[in-house]
Amino acid sequence: MQYRRLGRTDLDVSAICLGTMNFGEQNSEADAHAQLDRALTVGVNFIDTAEIYAVPPRPETQGLTESYIGSWLKARRNRSKVVLATKVAGRSPMDWLRDDRATTTLTRAQITEALDKSLKRLGTDYVDLYQVHFPDRAVPGFGSNPTIWRNPEPVPNEVPIEETLMVLADFVTAGKVRHIGLSNETPWGTMRYIAAADAIGLGRPQSIQNAYSLVNRTFEAGLAEVALREQVGLLAYSSLAQGYLTGKYRDGALPAGARKTLFNRLQRYEKPGAEEAINRYLDLAAEWGLDPSKLALAFALTRPFTTSVIIGATTLEQLDTDLGALDVAIPPELEAAIDAIHLWRSNPCP
């Protein structure tokens, strides 16, 4: 296992982070514990979750992922061996997250409620990394840095970034949170957090968790420089394009138990040009004798701005395949071939 420094902290996290959003939906509690055991055995020390998980988010499964991780931590008595990350929801209509059934926003009262509930489910008195899952303000699209600007309607009573940052800083002072991070953020939002932290003298964000893959390299357009210069490293998610870059959906296939088969909510990876680009990457992997999953993950792992790549699996076999990406190099010839496809079909899935 490789380990990398998390931002400007003293924490070293595994280059592969175990994503857990399947826990409580596609994976049972026993499945979750088996994945966590396997990951820890091979050196993964970084676990990521969120208050809204399992995914797709719904009232019946909300919080189960954190609860499954909590029962594992209690059974194994290994809290000190893992770097535990979770997230608070930004503005959304998911009113089941809050006791008063309010629209979620990043106010002091709501973040406090969210963190206390997460800590209770996780069975711990602190988290190592507490992330803002998505902004409070209106943005052109969830989790995306758009290739086409669509002007969003401003939301009422937008919570200023400075206000949210001060709440998070208070949690750090109280010992409930060691470090803070961002997720699904833009270059502007990231720099606003950094500038506010520096101006007020508060803790800076140490990471940014955004989508990044062969078919979505929009992170490179503005956030890569921020990540490198400000030491706010990328925690890359969806580096397999939610399974499309594994090849399992090629030519319209719908494998039993797969996310698209179960939920049909992967339209981000079905935009114009996506199928052509994905197939070219799958063919490139075959030309180089590589498992396509390993190629896609190795690409994300070898970017200079990447701190860790978040993987998600429903079976131990998938988990083992993903972990094997650490052994894959991207030589200059392969890098050039990847870039040629990217220039041919740039960011079809932003």
Question: Does the structure show a pLDDT above 80 at 104?
Answer: yes
**pLDDT at site 141:** 82
CATH number at residue 168: 3.20.20.100
Amino acid at 162: E
**pLDDT at site 143:** 79
Task: Show Cβ contacts of residue 26 under 8 Å, excluding neighbours closer than 6 positions.
Answer: 54, 257, 259, 262, 314
Question: Does the structure show a pLDDT above 90 at 176?
Answer: yes
- Determine the Cα–Cα distance for residues 171 and 240; give it in Å rounded to an integer: 34
**pLDDT at site 68:** 98
Decide if 345 is inside a domain.
no
Domain total of the chain: 1
Helices (H), the chain: 29-41, 64-76, 108-122, 161-174, 187-200, 219-230, 259-263, 274-287, 292-301, 316-323, 332-344
Decide if 337 is inside a domain.
no
pLDDT tens digits for range 58-92? 999 999 999 999 999 999 999 999 999 999 999 99
**pLDDT at site 47:** 98
Question: Does the structure show a pLDDT above 80 at 114?
Answer: yes
Question: Does the structure show a pLDDT above 80 at 144?
Answer: no
pLDDT tens digits for range 185-216? 999 999 999 999 999 888 999 999 999 999 99
Task: Show Cβ contacts of residue 83 under 8 Å, excluding neighbours closer than 6 positions.
Answer: 6, 11, 13, 45, 46, 47, 128, 129
pLDDT tier for residue 341 given thresholds of 50, 70 and 90: very high
- Determine the Cα–Cα distance for residues 219 and 225; give it in Å rounded to an integer: 9
The residue written with tokens 């750090």 in the block is 172
Q: How far is CA 38 from CA 293, 322, 323, 340, in A?
A: 19, 12, 10, 37
Q: Do residues 318 and 261 touch, judged by C-beta distance below 8 A?
A: no
Q: How far is CA 143 from CA 208, 259, 278, in A?
A: 11, 19, 20
Decide if 209 is inside a domain.
yes
Arithmetic mean of pLDDT over the chain: 96
pLDDT tens digits for range 256-271? 989 999 998 888 899 9
Q: Residue count of the chain, please give it.
A: 350
Q: Residue 182 belongs to what H/E stretch?
A: strand 177-183
Decide if 133 is inside a domain.
yes
- Longest Cα separation, the chain: 56
User: Which of the residues are catalytic?
Assistant: 53
Among 309, 227, 340, which residue's Cα sits nearest to residue 16? Answer: 309
**In which domain, by residue range, is 112 found?**
3-242+303-328
pLDDT tier for residue 330 given thresholds of 50, 70 and 90: very high
Decide if 336 is inside a domain.
no
Decide if 136 is inside a domain.
yes
Decide if 343 is inside a domain.
no
pLDDT tens digits for range 234-261? 999 999 999 999 999 999 999 998 999 9
- Mean pLDDT along residues 24-52: 98
- Determine the Cα–Cα distance for residues 282 and 298; give it in Å rounded to an integer: 14
**pLDDT at site 276:** 98
Q: Do residues 186 and 145 touch, judged by C-beta distance below 8 A?
A: yes
pTM of the complete model: 0.97
